[in-house]
Amino acid sequence: MKSDLWSVLRRFTQARIALGRAGHAMPTAALLEFQLAHAEARDAVHLVWDLDGFADRVRGLGAQVLLLETPVASRDEYLRRPDLGRILNGASRERLGKLDCDAADVALIVTNGLSTAALERHGIALLRALLNGYRSRQLSVAPVALVANGRVALLDEIGSALGAKVAVIVVGERPGLSAADSLGVYLGFAPKPGNSDAQRNCISNIRPPEGLSYQDAAAKIIYLTEESMRRGTSGVALKDDTAGLLTG
């Protein structure tokens, strides 16, 4: 029987290739795997984030916590109104305005984004690696801002309000049919409302063991943080050159 070269390639990717066929349709096993992946992706989006429990775990890492909110009232509204996830509500803006803390090198923000499952599975371990890394480099970090139902652009409003040199946001990425629990991290130098995507760096697919490890992701972000402060820029003008820093 002739070997199927596509089947060999399946060892090297999680993409859906070499599914086979049964008559004019997919085999039952492949169809069931697809339906399971679709269900896991939907669950990742609609899972309720245990914000208070997550905050307690962040405090356990030795960090202060700042709880903020967007105007989003529900997950359904979050999906329908991306614009509302990019801004804070009035009460949170007032809270930030009254906050008495020194300007820090880094504003660290966390939101469940489009995958609460990703944040629940990987968020604390990634934050531990990031906070330990920043401490080892003697970079100051503002109280960690936790915001449910947020979008990436929140890093600019929060980072600007905190007077940070660099803003970093950890966010649950859009689930796919091969990964429902992937985290992304975005970084922007001199955060301020109105900054564009081109002014941000992104590290994605953080989800060991299939994706990037916590240590490698933290190494990349810390490198980009220090380089952005040294060069006074971020985004397309700042390249990730961390190949020699990664553990593999």
The token pair that represents 245 in the structure block: 């820093």
The pTM of the full predicted model, rounded to 2 decimals, is 0.87
Residue among 133, 131, 142 nearest 106 (CA): 142
The 166-172 sheet, strands edge to edge: 65-69, 144-148, 106-111, 166-172, 183-189, 200-206
For the segment 212-225, what is each residue's pLDDT rounded down to a tens digit? 999 999 999 999 99
> Which CATH fold would you assign to the domain 61-236?
Rossmann fold (3.40.50)
**In the chain, where are the structural domains located?**
61-236
For the segment 78-126, what is each residue's pLDDT rounded down to a tens digit? 999 999 999 999 999 999 988 888 889 999 999 999 999 999 999 999 9
For the segment 184-222, what is each residue's pLDDT rounded down to a tens digit? 999 999 999 999 999 999 999 999 998 999 999 999 999
186: which strand partners? 169, 202
